[in-house]
Chain A
């Protein structure tokens, strides 16, 4: 699937303003301002000035909260986003309600307690973010994430992402039966996305510490429906269908 840019000029805009640079600016700005987030259940709240608010929006981290405050803005971060900023980009610190700073290990344990599949879902999230894709949670599509090639204002997301652990275990709950495959592929298709499975292999390392993540391996696979009525014409046609995974 090719990227579907929204409106004229979006592709050029994106080209002129690479996501890697935006994220890098966000990282510097967070470090400079020594920004801290407040942990509240599964969310982390950050209070930021206009410049940081702009960077968070452009890099697509968190959701702005509309408040009456004038010169400061509040953002709400998801677990994966928080951990990416804290652990991967090392530009954010998280404080619990008693004022103590949570170390990355503590944060890891805490997030795992809220979401047992967090190690897998985080690996998939960081894997895609690291490649400069914009990744947002995809609950409304029945998947873990949706991935955009750039800012969602500029481009439609191409992928609906499921993060699945390798092997047969308790955390592997999706696509275990064919009806789920049919359902998920059909839903993705009806919202013009390709189903992308990010298979995370923990390589037997467990998930005791975020340092395990480094040695997890990831394989990406797309699952697409093939229609034999449509591919009869030529070899190229068949290859293009197969290359639905080529994007």
Chain B
């Protein structure tokens, strides 16, 4: 074994081709995405309900409804991010309660006023994954709920543990949207979305466990303690962390590993404690 130069014959000079997916400075100015927005003949229609901070779908066109919108007593409701996504791609027309069409501008305003439980970064993350075909749902909101009469108020803000119970909708619930939303920014890491793979045979009636839970990061990277707190709540479902800055959406995995003992046993990822 030649020891003299092992330092230099190591990987000091190995600089693999930097496979960087973000060198898209040129791409964002290209018409690539715009050209994929087809002229749609079949445009769905929804009615925006301020009290619920959701759009109730009144006319469904196209196959996207299999993976979009939450079902409550047979009606389908879209969150602001779902609504905006569909309106941006020209697949949905939204009316207000007076029957007047809501412009994209007005919908951006609804996103920005903080009353719909969402914000620009969350919407960017949502849009990024949806455009790639992932099925994305807001954390804590069940895809499908059965129950009795709907009263005014939000459709659902409780955790998915209660997904099969009757959900009472009262005005208080709407305030808790804002509270939930405000609380999201207290810690550095908050579960935001449940994400399923694009080709999964997704069904709202039995979605199963998501492929991963997406956590948004606000200011700074999460601490180990914060990550562990979220992991503990979600058992074996992997987490991914999303950081958005300057319009760049980045995803990271921060996985716990155990480097193997011995002479070159592989390290392994232990399943999280139950």
Contacts and interface: CB of A to CB of B under 8 A. Distances in A.
Contacts of B128: 228
A58 interface: yes
A222 B257 contact: yes
A18 B261 CA distance: 12
Nearest to B218: A178
A121 interface: no
B259 A220 contact: yes
B252 A185 contact: yes
B16 to A, nearest CB: 5
B136 to A, nearest CB: 11
Nearest to A227: B21
A14 B251 contact: no
Interface string B183-199: 00000000000000111
A156 B12 CA distance: 10
Query: Which size class do B's interface residues fall under?
Result: 35 or more
Contacts of A68: none
Contacts of B10: 152-153, 156-157
Contacts, number: 181
A25 to B, nearest CB: 14
Given A156-B10, A177-B221, A245 B251 contact: no
A219 B252 CA distance: 18
A186 B211 CA distance: 25
A61 B139 CA distance: 50
B258 to A, nearest CB: 6
Contacts of A228: 128-129, 132, 134, 251
A167 B224 CA distance: 8
Nearest to A177: B220
Interface in A175-214: 175-178, 180-182, 185-186, 189-193, 196, 199
Interface string B1-42: 111101101111011101111000000000000000000000
Interface in B237-274: 238, 240, 243, 245, 250-264, 266-269
Contacts of B267: 220, 245-247
Residue among A128, A132, A176, A192 with max Cβ neighbours from chain B (10 Å): A132
Contact of B18 (A64, A147, A168, A190): A190
Nearest to A225: B252
Contact of B212 (A150, A175, A238): A238
B194 to A, nearest CB: 14
Contact of B14 (A131, A156, A229): A156
Query: Which size class do A's interface residues fall under?
Result: 35 or more
B251 A227 contact: yes
Chain B at the A interface: SS class: loop
A90 interface: no
Contacts of A18: 262-263
A242 B238 contact: yes
A109 interface: no
Contact of A244 (B1, B2, B255): B255
Interface in B33-72: none
Nearest to A239: B238
Given A191-B14, A246-B266, A221 B261 contact: no
Given A128-B259, A235-B200, A247-B267, A225 B9 contact: no
A133 interface: yes
Contacts of B220: 176-178
A245 B252 contact: no
A184 to B, nearest CB: 11
A26 to B, nearest CB: 13
B215 to A, nearest CB: 12
A131 B269 contact: no
A178 B221 contact: yes
A153 B223 contact: no
Given A167-B223, A176-B221, A232-B198, 19 more contacts: A18-B262, A63-B7, A128-B259, A132-B263, A150-B264, A152-B10, A153-B1, A178-B220, A189-B16, A192-B14, A193-B11, A220-B267, A221-B227, A221-B255, A222-B253, A222-B257, A225-B251, A227-B251, A247-B260
Interface of A: 2-3, 6, 13-15, 18-20, 54, 57-58, 63-64, 128, 131-133, 140, 147, 149-157, 159, 166-168, 175-178, 180-182, 185-186, 189-193, 196, 199, 219-229, 231-235, 238, 241-247
25 contacts: A13-B1, A20-B263, A64-B4, A153-B2, A153-B3, A153-B10, A166-B224, A168-B223, A175-B221, A178-B245, A185-B252, A189-B19, A191-B14, A191-B16, A221-B227, A221-B257, A222-B255, A227-B251, A228-B129, A233-B199, A238-B197, A242-B238, A245-B255, A245-B256, A246-B266
